[in-house]
């Protein structure tokens, strides 16, 4: 199904006006693909018919947001990124009496629990608060339950080992039937909350912000806006981690960060 630019913009503006969700600065190809996929699954014949239904039915709109927002994640995804955090960032975080970390775009929570495990092994979790945010309320519900399919644990264990894990990964969860329930002591230090990177503002000061594989779905203007939000939310000499296909190249804050690890896209705010 072909969706024209004017038709798409009209649809996104109507959604923004009605609900406050602004998808207008998402990368057009990505948002078109997700809308078409959603329409195929719900059997809508045109964007106009879909728009009418969305504007009239809030529950249906919630389903739309769940489908269109990005929820791909896994524990210790890209293990070398976490290994670099262990080697290059944790010692600096240890100098703070209270450590505040923002996992932005946390999806179903695997990255937040990965961060908590790493902090625990560095003896820092007891004085850390991890703020894990996402636009997708259903994903946040899954994250709060701390329960994931048991079949994923083989992959997660492999990632954990490559990321420099120092314990047996199985110590962090309890197997129950076909699910793995993660230790509540990890969740105690995580605050899961809705936050929209497109429209919401800073809400705290952080020593580390990690937002991986989210900016690739935004156009350059929105990427710049989000990087500015992160810059304002970081303390002096705070760290920021991005995905391996993301950079600061086209943002006006590119000269305000220095590279801590070029390959892993970890930066430090220095002015």
Measure the CA–CA gap between 69 and 107, rounded to whole angstroms: 9
- Give residue-wise pLDDT tens across range 2-43: 788 889 999 999 988 888 777 877 778 888 888 988 888 888
Measure the CA–CA gap between 35 and 64, rounded to whole angstroms: 9
Per-residue pLDDT at 256: 97
- Domains delineated in the chain: 5-68 (no CATH), 79-269 (3.40.50.150)
Per-residue pLDDT at 29: 83
Per-residue pLDDT at 195: 94
Q: Report CA dihedral (17, 30, 257, 113) to the nearest 10 degrees.
A: 90
Per-residue pLDDT at 89: 98
Question: What order do you get walking across the sheet with 266-269 strand by strand?
Answer: 190-194, 128-134, 99-104, 206-211, 234-242, 266-269, 257-261
Higher per-residue pLDDT: 186 or 222:
186
Using the structure block, give the residue that is written with the tokens 């896209």. Answer: 265
- Give residue-wise pLDDT tens across range 52-83: 999 999 888 878 887 777 666 899 999 999 99
**Average pLDDT value over all residues in the chain:** 92
Per-residue pLDDT at 72: 66
Residue 196 predicted with pLDDT over 80: yes
| Max mean pLDDT range (43-57, 212-226, 257-271) | 257-271
Per-residue pLDDT at 20: 75
Residues 117 and 145: beta-carbon distance below 8 Å: no
Residues 30 and 36: beta-carbon distance below 8 Å: no
């Amino acid at each position: 199904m072909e969706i024209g630019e004017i038709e798409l913009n009209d649809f996104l503006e109507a959604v923004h006006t009605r609900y406050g969700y602004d998808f207008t600065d998402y990368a057009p190809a990505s948002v078109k693909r997700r809308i078409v996929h959603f329409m195929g699954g719900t059997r809508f014949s045109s964007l106009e018919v879909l728009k009418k239904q969305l504007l009239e039915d809030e529950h249906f709109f919630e389903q739309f947001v769940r489908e269109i927002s990005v929820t791909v994640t896994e524990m210790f995804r890209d293990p070398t990124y976490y290994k670099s955090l262990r080697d290059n960032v944790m010692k600096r975080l240890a100098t703070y009496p209270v450590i505040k970390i923002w996992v932005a775009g946390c999806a179903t929570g695997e990255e937040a629990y990965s961060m908590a495990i790493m902090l625990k092994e560095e003896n820092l979790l007891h004085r850390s608060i991890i703020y894990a945010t996402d636009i997708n309320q259903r994903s946040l519900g899954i994250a709060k339950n701390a329960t994931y399919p048991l079949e994923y644990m083989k992959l997660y264990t492999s990632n954990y080992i490559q990321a420099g894990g120092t314990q047996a990964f199985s110590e962090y969860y309890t197997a129950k039937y076909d699910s793995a329930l993660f230790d509540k002591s990890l969740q105690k230090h995580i605050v899961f909350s809705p936050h929209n990177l497109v429209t919401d503002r800073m809400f705290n000061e952080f020593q580390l912000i990690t937002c991986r594989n989210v900016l690739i779905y935004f156009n350059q203007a929105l990427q710049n806006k989000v990087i500015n939000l992160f810059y304002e939310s970081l303390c002096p000499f705070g760290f920021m981690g991005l995905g391996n296909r993301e950079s600061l190249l086209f943002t006006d804050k590119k000269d305000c960060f220095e590279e801590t690890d070029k390959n892993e896209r970890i930066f430090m705010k220095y002015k």
